Chains A and B, each alone.
Chain A
Amino acid sequence: MKAPRFHYVRPESLDATLGLLAEYGEDARILAGGQSLMPTLNMRLSQPKVLIDINRIEALKGIAVHDGMVRIGALARHVEVMNSPIVAEALPLIAEAMPHVAHVAVRNRGTFGGSIALADPSAEMPACILALGASVVVDGVRGRRTIAADDFFIGLYETAREPDELLVEVLLPPQKPGHVSVFMELSRRHGDFAIAGIACHARVAGGVINDARLAYFGSEAKPVLGTRTMAILNGKAWPTASNEVVNAALDEDLDPIGNTFGSPATKLHLQKVLTRRVLDAAVQRARAP
């Protein structure tokens, strides 16, 4: 099967793109890597009027450090992020998560910005930027906005980006000394959609966890922070904190959605298992030389 009829435009500049978005709004779809969009078009699950191909826009490419933040351009391919020395050095959470993003062929074309903008509930990158407290930069004819990741993900495939706005880059704080990152996910087979997963970033010293940010994905409608769990863990030594208290907090924090890969009960259980494993690993990593 192939896509239904649509108009295709390939603007050469950011301004031209934003103009098109202003003109077409919800009738337009942005084509970046196409790894999620093309299958839905070809299966005729989505019928946009206009496809705006942004692949020619230089301003959306690249990975760089700027003003103490790592800037990942919306068009950076997953493979570029995976192979980036900047990411390896400053964003170990992203580096650890990237091999879990689908498969080589998908990573070769799929983009970092595309993954964030789509906000698939089982995707790895949205959870990572949430755990890292990153910011998402969107642009439009009405002006440029910087949105905290905490505010960006609103619901199932729903974000704070308006239809006339383009996600242009993500700004991520480099990992500070004394902090550790841990990424874990469970999927049926490697590269499949996550059934449950956690992106974790925390300051850990002497087995004591501080400022933990646990972003849960795969089980919820969107990546969510385990805020109650984070609060309980704060300033406490792990694993001395009672498992039951943590589990009770997770019962409050999470509201899993069942699908063919797992029931809500199973997903909640798996997130509890992963929480324990992630925290064990965080403490272990903090101890490692």
Chain B
Amino acid sequence: MGEFAIGQGVPRFEDPRLVRGGGRYVDDVALPRMAYGYVLRSPHAHARIRSIDTGKAKAAPGVLAVLTGSDWEAAGWRDLPVPGGMKRRDGSPSYKPRFPALVKDRVRWVGDYVAFVVGETLHQAADAAELIEIDYEPLPAVTATANAAVPGAPLVWDDCPGNVCFARFEGDKTATDAAFARADHIVKHRFVINRVTAATMEPRGAVGDYNVADGRYTLYAVLQRAQGYRAELAQVLGVPESMVRVVAGDVGGSFGMKSAIFNENPLTLLASKLIGRPVKWTGTRSEAFLGDAQGRDNVTDAELALDKDGNFLGLRVKSLVNAGAYLQPGMPAFTGNLGTLAGVYKTPASHVDVTVVFSNTNPMRPYRGNGRPEAAYVIERMVDLAADELGLDPYELRRLNMIPPEAMPFKTSVTFTYDCGEFEKSMDIALKMADVNSFEKRRAAARKRGKLRGIGLSFTIERAAAGGFEGAEIRFDRSGTVTLVSGSHSQGQGHETVFKQLVCDRLGLDPNEVYYLQGDTDQVFFGEGTGGSRSATMAGSAFHLASEKIVVKATQIAAHLLKLEAADINFADGIFSSAKTNQTLTIQEVARAAADPSKLPKDMEAGLVSNAVFDTDTQNFPNGCHICEVEIDEDTGEVEIVDYNVVDDVGTVLNPLLLHGQIDGGIAQGLGQVLMEDIRFDADGQLLTGSFMDYAMPRARNTPAFHVESNPVPTKTNPLGTKGAGEAGCVGAMPAVANALVDALSVLGVKHVEMPATPERIWRSIQEARAG
């Protein structure tokens, strides 16, 4: 089955359906007697609620229910999941804020959840929401990360002093201090990593359906991980997990954002229970800006210690991270990716000190990379800053400090132990692809055209598939066709294609006879889901194991049918054969026999079905070199990316077409943040960027063609040799683009430009550099 073999660029099986409008998204769910919910959100960043009067709203036409914080409390359901177990600086437990689905007496961000109105139609619900009378007492708000921990800052939670949720430390402080004490050079810089939103193509949505007959709750949802989601939801509802079913169809983008249980999800279920009808809620784009959890947002002070030759001696990083108004699951995971700060370097001593603070802003969540792009940005900008300060070539400075392949496995000074990687080789391939040697000619030519041309390189590495497990199931039916049941869930990545490709390759199947199923907790036996660049590795390996189990059982059946020993049977390309007979059997014939107990060995269970759980305590480390070339209009600050080259190492490449899609999309997201995307609040905490007219997303014409090559160094930590690819593009792009911008502006004396590097900001940095 060469056409579908591992490594072939098989076009996506799901695309014909999706591009023809055949997707089944949550808003496509239509149940009989369905009612519609509308969320009334806080117009204040911070306010006390003196009173709420829902009388007029309840009397409005078509209104079925108006729920407030009191109704949520009366239901006796628990808070939305809030992680705990971290510590504050003094060793006391992390602050665990309350997280009811509807607030009762205090709102903490513009968009916070005040009431849920259910009507016969959405518009009746929305009209009624305007009739709810709320007496707010506005309070001072804090939105900027740097201000949240300043003494005297408004407290988001009255009993959380200094707004500090928790602190986290990595590395060895004593060794790092010693390294800095003997350093010849210390390079310091403060980075402000701005706040962005996932801006998924499909906004969030939910349909809650409580069945009064059997007392079971069904939630049609957008998510990344069906089973984990159900477990958390059952805890919120306070019912056994078996009494909750979660179903997700196609999901139009998530990037981490949709993996949480958002307030609307239990609200649709509560409303459904109260009115005895299914309740749908679909977010608008405006609500996505107001209500979705957002990403990144930290202020980081970094220091790099070097000896006189440029060897890195130590890295010290102090970071203040914004959690938003509440603490969603996944925020602590951000700190789990601090290891990315070590980069691909031998730096013997590092110390990282992170403080997570509350603010009157949308809660924060993992967003494509979840700490990795931020950390990669910091270390790779620091290397360029160090090269500039010491007058060294940034490529040679990296080469000098890179971990060589023969040092693997290498334990870095921050968290991780890398198992493999050929960093210098990948960089050399990239330098050649980007024709770095003749760059100065291009710079000079651009100058004649009035443009400032710059080149920037990043070499980044991140942790993917961080341990854990994943399930997969292969079900042959009695006709010999197959259903694949995946524990992992696609939000657009192409799971269906890759898993079909993998199983068809292993079992010699025709993909047209294979159906792919995901996201229904009544069907999927084990679903940890997608996140942290894990699906190819975890679910891919699980399908690999499930395929092996199928082959083992099918071989026994084939041997029985052919009256031979299993050891005599060969299996290749879907056919069982033997040197001892001319007879052959297809896997479909074996599957049909498997459904008939009379054709099986005496003690064998009927059916050709296997499920497998891939379980690992290791992780893998995708890495790669990005080289970006930009041209800047000195007069206007406009930036054009003129060339972009990548050499990635994501281990075994299962499908290069999908890999390039992942890398390209990741780069677009990374450069989007560095050049234009920016969530901004005014001094009162009002969101200034509440639409796509104010929040700029990169478009095709803002990106050049990306040239992507692979230097695969398969990992031995999983049977496929894959490393995660989902976040790599984004991780590499932020520092590469930023380094290119600074390089272009360096002729004017500019040392750094904060993100997003809008024309305004670039022009200002030029003015500031000129003013000295």
Q: Which A residues form the contact surface with B (CB < 8 A)? A: 1-2, 4-5, 43, 186, 188-190, 192-193, 195, 260-263, 266, 269-270, 273
**A190→B702 CA distance, assembly (Å):** 9
Output the least CB separation between A158 and chain B (Å): 21
Known contacts A186-B638, A192-B693; A1/B763 CB under 8 A: no
Closest 9 CB pairs of A and B: A273-B635, A262-B760, A266-B760, A188-B696, A2-B123, A1-B284, A260-B688, A266-B763, A186-B636
Please measure, in the bound complex, the distance between the C-alpha atom of A43 and the C-alpha atom of B284, giving whole angstroms: 10
How many angstroms from the CA of A2 to the CA of B758 in the assembled complex?
33
B286 x A43 contact (CB < 8 A): yes
- Please state if A260 and B123 are interface contacts (CB–CB under 8 Å): no
Contact of A266 among B127, B638, B689, B764 (CB under 8 A): B764
Shortest beta-carbon distance from B111 to chain A in Å:
14
Q: Tell me which residues across on chain A come within 8 A of B701, comparing CB atoms.
A: 189-190
Partner of B759, one of A2, A186, A193, A260: A186
B446 adjacent to chain A (CB < 8 Å): no
B286 and A260 within 8 A (CB): no
B317 at the interface (CB under 8 A from A): no
Report how many residues on chain B are interfacial, defined by Cβ distance under 8 Å. Answer: 25
Contact B126 A2 (CB under 8 A): yes
A2 and B760 CA atoms in complex are apart in Å by: 35
The CA of A270 and the CA of B680, in the complex, are separated in Å by 23
Complex interface: chain A residues within 8 A of B638 (CB): 186
Asked if B759 and A195 make an inter-chain contact with CB atoms under 8 angstroms apart, the answer reads yes
* Contact, CB under 8 Å: A261 / B760: yes
Q: Report the tally of A-B residue pairs with Cβ distances under 8 A.
A: 46
Could you give 16 example pairs across A and B, Cβ below 8 Å?
A1-B284, A1-B286, A2-B122, A4-B127, A186-B638, A186-B759, A188-B696, A188-B759, A189-B702, A192-B696, A195-B760, A261-B758, A262-B759, A262-B760, A263-B760, A270-B763
Report which of B123, B126, B636, B758 forms a contact with A273, defined as CB distance below 8 A: B636
A270 touching B123 by the CB < 8 A rule?
no
Are B636 and A188 within 8 A (Cβ)? no
Considering the complex, give the chain B residue whose CB is closest to the CB of A277.
B635
B699 at the A interface (CB under 8 A): yes
Known: A188-B759, A260-B689. 7 other contacts (CB 8 A): A4-B130, A43-B286, A188-B676, A189-B701, A195-B759, A262-B759, A266-B763
Chain A minimum-CB-distance residue to B699: A189
Interface of B is mostly: loop
Query: Which residues B733-758 have CB closer than 8 A to chain A?
Result: 758
The reply to whether B636 and A260 contact each other, CB–CB distance below 8 Å, is no
Question: Is B393 at the interface (CB under 8 A from chain A)?
Answer: no
B635→A188 contact, CB < 8 A = no
Q: Which residues of A contact B693 (CB under 8 A)?
A: 192-193
- What's the nearest-Cβ distance from chain A to residue B199, in Å? 14
- For the complex, what is the distance from the CA of A260 to the CA of B122, rounded to whole Å? 33
Q: Which residues of the partner chain A approach B127 to less than 8 Å between Cβ atoms?
A: 4-5
Which residues of chain A are near B689, meaning CB under 8 Å? Answer: 260
Whole-angstrom CA separation of A269 from B762 in the bound complex: 13
Give A261 to B126 CA distance when docked, in angstroms. 32
The complex places the Cα of A2 from the Cα of B36 at a distance, in Å, of: 14
- Cα(A193)–Cα(B695), bound, Å: 12
Question: Which chain B residues lie closer than 8 Å to A262 at the CB level?
Answer: 759-760
Chain B contacts for A1, CB-based, 8 A: 126, 284, 286
Instruction: List residues of chain A with CB within 8 A of the CB of B568.
Output: none
Name the residue on B nearest A267 (C-beta).
Answer: B760
Question: B694 an interface residue at 8 Å Cβ cutoff?
Answer: yes
Compute how far the CA of A64 lies from the CA of B127 in the bound complex, rounded to whole angstroms: 45
How far is the CB of B75 from the nearest CB of chain A, in Å? 27
> Which residues from chain A contact B702 at a C-beta distance below 8 Å?
189
* Nearest chain A CB to B293 CB, angstrom units: 21
The answer on a CB contact under 8 Å between A270 and B286 is no
Residues of chain B lying within 8 A (CB to CB) of residue A186? 636, 638, 759
Q: Which residues of B contact A266 (CB under 8 A)?
A: 759-760, 763-764
A132 to chain B, nearest CB (A): 26
Q: Specify which of A2, A188, A190, A260 is in contact with B680 (CB 8 Å cutoff).
A: A260
Q: How far is the CB of A113 from chain B (nearest CB, A)?
A: 22
- Find out whether the CB atom of A270 lies under 8 angstroms from the CB atom of B284: no
Whole-angstrom distance from the CB of A63 to the nearest CB of chain B? 29
Instruction: Write the chain B residue with the least CB distance to A5.
Output: B127
Q: What A residues does B635 contact at CB under 8 A?
A: 273
Nearest residue, chain A, Cβ from B756:
A188
**Least Cβ distance of B186 to chain A in Å?**
34
A270 to B763, CA, bound (A): 10
What residues of chain B lie closer than 8 Å to A190, measured between beta carbons? 701
Name the distance in Å between A224's Cβ and chain B's nearest Cβ. Answer: 21
- Report the nearest A residue to B126, measured CB to CB: A1
